[in-house]
Each structure stands twice: as C-alpha cells, then as structure tokens.
C-alpha cells in the first residue's frame, strides 16, 4: 500500500530521495558503438538478428511500405493522429524564433542569427508497444524549426501506426533499427544511415546509455529517466480521479513515481483506498503496484503554498494542480516539466492531444532543463561588424583589456590596424 507521510513529521530523505537507476550496461554499449563505428551496416544487421530476433534484408523503409502502412492503419486512428498533429503544430509554431540586429553606435552592428540543424535523428521505441505520439512530439518541432532532414529509427518490425505518424509529421527517412546500435549509427553514420547533428527521443537503458556515450560527438535532447507525476490536490478533488491520474504514470515502469501532496488527511486516505481498488483492474497491474509500493507516496502538507514548496524541490516531470483557481498558483511553480491546471486536465491530455510537448525532463532535472521544443532543433550564431572608425574609437581600450589579461597577441591584433600596417 502506498504510504501517507506527514511532511512536518517525516525525515526529508523519505520525501525527497529518488531511486535513480544506475546504468548496468556501460560496457556492452561501448562494445556495440565500437562495432558500429568499425563495421557500419554489417554491425546493424548483426545486432538486429541478435537482439530483435529478426532477419531484415534492408534497413530503410521504402515509400511503398509507407503508403501500405497508411492503408493498414485504422482510419479512426489516422484521424486522431492528424488532429493531434495539428494541435502540436499550433503550439510549437509559437516557439519559432527570429534573429535580430541593432546598431548601438555609428559604425557598429551586432546581432544574432538562427540556423536550423541540418540533420536530426529521432528515436522511437518499438517492441511490444507502439508509440506514434513520440513520432509526432519529436518530428513536428524539428519540422517547424526548418531542419534539412529528419531521420527516424525504430526497432523492427515497425508498426503501421508509427509509420503513419511519421508520414503525418513529415519525417524524411525511416530506418528499421533500434537499440544502442541505432544511436551509434545516427551519431557516426554508416554506409546507409547518415550521420546527424542531434538525436532526440526516449528509449530503454541501452538507448539512454548510448545517448550518454555519444554526447559530444553529437547533440542529444536529454537522458530520460522513469516517468513521474506529482499531484497537488485540495479536499474538493475527487479521490477516484486522483488515483486514476497517479496510475496513468505508475503503469509505465516499476521505477515510475506517482506522488500526491494534499492538505486533507481524509482525501489522502480515500486516495489510498482508490489506488488499491483501481490498480487491481489494470492490465499492467503488477508494474503499477510495484511502482506505487516502491516509489509512490502521499504527502500531507500544512497548506497549498507549502505543497508548492515541496513540489518545487521535487521538480517533477508532470505536475497537476487539482485546486481551486489553479491559475493563481502558476507563478509559484518554479520547477516542473509540464503543468496541468484544474480538475479536468489529467496528464494524458498532454501526452496525446493538447499540443505542448510530452518529452520532458525527469529525475529532478526540471530544476534546470526544459521540455523538448523548437529551440532544440536550431542553433544561434552571433555576429559583429565594426567600421574602421568604430575600431579606432574603441581600439585603445580593447588593447589595454587584452594586455591586462597578459595576451599581447590579442592586443597586437588591434594595435597593428591603428599603426596602418
């Protein structure tokens, strides 16, 4: 049973400590990356047979296969995917940046230019589950950013729904390869798969470790950890709704975290009972129960402002505010990946439909990280232009500054122009 903890009477470690999973696959992933670097496509075929138990004759999905997938996908699902894609586009289009330039004084122009990344890779998990939502949430921001080529990798056999989502989102090329080997292929390139500038998307422990190891060779979005939800609720909230929302994340993973903070002991006890009743009816009840018992908790706070303080320290991936006038508390939220306001806005609204991204910082990294966005698919370059007159005006101060740092050649780069050489 999920524990109820009184914040004022409980050790801080019981409230704030996370069970952060440690990588157990560092060496195997190193070997896989090395093999892909040295053998290219040959290594990809080998690891696909070894791990996916599939013999494939080609890596790239053809246009004909893509069209066939559209035909095989349920028409109702296609309609839902298309509508969700429009919502995601509408939200992310507002994130698009423009450069700027200005002249602070005569003869000087300063500015910043925005350049889309040329090639980006998106990783979409496969296996027993198909997540077309991941395709939409990763590819659409890249498309809006103006990336030159969007390359998707996913383990075979790729489900028609994922291929349909890729078509809707505007993915340019798709390869049937997964795991650490797919990340290595995107980072270093092979005979078939081009090297990209950035890799985004979730995956298993092998994928996460591979992203960690190739970072620097290529950019990555984040190292995603187990899913999290934190709900702040007052006494007027429905225990059944709260329990359902907590379980929506607990069913992901045994290490997923579902936390409720409330000012009402009565509500806490009702939610505790609801969780027991609802978890037993879930297809993934063993996973959800393990999550609740291992990582879940209900915290009793003295007030809603105190609940906000606790939440800011936990910095959750998903935060639901099931309180009166939730917009009044928005400014008090400092650390959260995505915030869901009100009693009728459960977290799955954001997973699938509303438009904001569902690729979010986990493990407390919302203290310094942001959701995936259009910003992740562009880079910024700054530029400076000085006329001869402007350099003459500032030259002595620049040279003096350089000499103060002991860098005479820097100073000489300025003074040589003043000397007319």
Query: Domain limits of the chain?
Result: 26-220, 225-368, 387-418
The token pair at 73 is 């996908």
Pairing mode of beta strands 4-6, 338-341: unpaired
Mean predicted lDDT score pLDDT of the chain: 96
What one-character-per-residue DSSP string does 97-127 give? ---EEE-SSTTEEEEEEEEE-SEEEEE---T
The token pair at 199 is 């890799």
The whole-number pLDDT of residue 104 equals 97
The whole-number pLDDT of residue 54 equals 93
CB 380 within 8 A of CB 113: yes
CB 272 within 8 A of CB 4: yes
The pLDDT confidence band at residue 125, using thresholds 50, 70 and 90, is very high
Say what the pTM is.
0.94
Reply yes or no on whether the pLDDT at 109 is more than 60: yes
The whole-number pLDDT of residue 421 equals 52
Reply yes or no on whether the pLDDT at 267 is more than 80: yes
CB 26 within 8 A of CB 34: no
Examine residue 157 and say whether the peptide bond preceding it is cis (omega within 30 degrees of 0). yes
Beta bridge partners of 108: 386
Provide mean pLDDT across the span 360-378.
97
d(CA 93, CA 76): 26
Provide mean pLDDT across the span 7-17.
93
CATH class of 225-368: alpha beta
Tell me the per-residue pLDDT of 24-45, one tens digit each, with 9 for 90 and over.
899 999 999 999 999 999 999 9
Provide mean pLDDT across the span 56-61.
96
Could you check whether 26-220 and 225-368 share the same CATH topology?
yes
The pLDDT confidence band at residue 17, using thresholds 50, 70 and 90, is confident
The CATH number of the domain covering residues in 26-220: 3.40.50.1980
Reply yes or no on whether the pLDDT at 128 is more than 60: no
Q: In what order do the strands lie in the sheet with 378-386?
A: 100-102, 108-116, 378-386
Contacts of 330 by beta carbon, 8 Å cutoff, 6+ apart = 339, 341
- Residues annotated as catalytic (active site), given as ranges: 317-318
Provide mean pLDDT across the span 324-339.
97
Reply yes or no on whether the pLDDT at 371 is more than 60: yes
d(CA 296, CA 145): 38
Q: In what order do the strands lie in the sheet with 119-123?
A: 173-176, 149-154, 119-123, 198-200, 219-220
Reply yes or no on whether the pLDDT at 19 is more than 60: yes
In this structure, what is the dihedral angle of CA atoms 346, 242, 343, 355, given to the nearest 10 degrees?
Answer: -10
Tell me the per-residue pLDDT of 342-364, one tens digit each, with 9 for 90 and over.
999 999 999 999 999 999 999 99
Task: Look at residue 251 and give its three-state secondary structure.
Answer: coil
The whole-number pLDDT of residue 175 equals 98
Provide mean pLDDT across the span 259-272.
98
Provide mean pLDDT across the span 241-248.
98
d(CA 217, CA 237): 48
Query: Residues 23, 286, 132, 348: is their CA dihedral positive or negative?
Result: negative
Provide mean pLDDT across the span 372-388.
98
Long-range contact pairs involving 303-308 (C-beta distance under 8 Å, separation at least 24): 303/263, 304/232, 304/234, 304/263, 304/329, 305/332, 306/7, 307/232, 307/261, 307/262, 307/263, 308/232, 308/332, 308/333
Question: Distances in Å between the alpha carbon of 277 and those of 1, 239, 274, 285, 347?
Answer: 11, 11, 5, 11, 21
Tell me the per-residue pLDDT of 396-415, one tens digit each, with 9 for 90 and over.
999 999 999 999 999 999 99
The token pair at 297 is 């908790």
Instruction: Provide the 10 A C-beta neighbour count for residue 247.
Output: 26
The whole-number pLDDT of residue 130 equals 81
The whole-number pLDDT of residue 126 equals 85
What one-character-per-residue DSSP string does 57-101 give? S-SBPPHHHHHHHHHHS-HHHHHHHHHHHHHHHHHHGGG----EE
Provide mean pLDDT across the span 147-156.
97
DSSP-derived letter for residue 150 is E
Contacts of 49 by beta carbon, 8 Å cutoff, 6+ apart = 55
Residue 367: Cβ-neighbour burial (10 angstroms; 0-12, 13-18, 19+): middle
The whole-number pLDDT of residue 127 equals 63
By C-alpha distance, which of 265, 348, 250 is closest to 302? 265
């Amino acid at each position: 049973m999920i524990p109820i903890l009184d914040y004022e009477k409980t050790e801080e470690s019981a409230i704030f400590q996370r069970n952060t999973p440690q990588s157990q696959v560092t060496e195997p992933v190193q070997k896989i990356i090395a093999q892909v670097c040295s053998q290219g496509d040959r290594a990809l075929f080998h690891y696909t047979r070894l791990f996916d138990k599939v013999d494939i004759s080609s890596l790239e999905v053809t246009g004909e296969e893509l069209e066939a997938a559209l035909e095989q996908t349920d028409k109702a699902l296609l309609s839902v995917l298309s509508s969700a894609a429009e919502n995601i586009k509408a939200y992310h289009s507002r994130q698009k940046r423009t450069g700027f330039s200005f002249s602070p004084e005569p003869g000087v122009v300063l500015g910043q230019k925005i350049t889309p990344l040329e090639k980006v890779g998106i990783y979409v998990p496969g296996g027993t589950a198909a997540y077309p939502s991941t395709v939409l949430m990763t590819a659409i921001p890249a498309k809006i950013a103006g990336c030159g080529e969007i390359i998707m990798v996913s383990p075979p056999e790729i489900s028609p729904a994922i291929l349909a989502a890729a078509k809707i989102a505007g993915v340019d090329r798709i390869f049937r390869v997964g795991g650490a080997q797919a990340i290595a292929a995107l980072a270093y390139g092979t005979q078939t798969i081009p090297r990209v500038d950035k890799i985004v998307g979730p995956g298993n422990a092998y994928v996460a470790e591979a992203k960690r190891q190739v970072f620097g060779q290529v950019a990555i979005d984040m190292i995603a950890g187990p899913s999290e939800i934190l709900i702040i609720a007052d006494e007027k909230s429905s225990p059944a709704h709260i329990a359902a929302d907590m379980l929506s994340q607990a069913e992901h993973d045994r290490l997923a975290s579902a936390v409720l903070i409330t000012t009402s002991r009565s509500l806490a006890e009702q939610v505790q009972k609801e969780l027991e009743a609802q978890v037993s009816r879930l297809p993934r009840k063993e996973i959800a129960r393990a999550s609740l018992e291992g990582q879940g908790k209900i915290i009793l706070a003295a007030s809603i402002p105190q609940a906000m303080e606790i939440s800011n320290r936990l910095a959750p991936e998903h935060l639901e505010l099931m309180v009166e006038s939730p917009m009044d508390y928005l400014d008090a939220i400092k650390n959260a990946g995505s915030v869901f306001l009100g009693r009728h806005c459960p977290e799955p609204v954001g997973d699938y439909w509303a438009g904001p991204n569902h690729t979010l910082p986990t493990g407390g990294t919302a203290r310094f990280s942001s959701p995936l966005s259009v910003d992740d698919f562009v880079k910024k370059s700054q530029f400076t232009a000085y006329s001869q007159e402007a350099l003459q005006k500032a030259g002595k101060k620049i040279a003096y500054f350089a000499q103060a740092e002991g860098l005479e050649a820097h100073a000489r780069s300025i003074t040589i122009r003043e000397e007319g050489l």
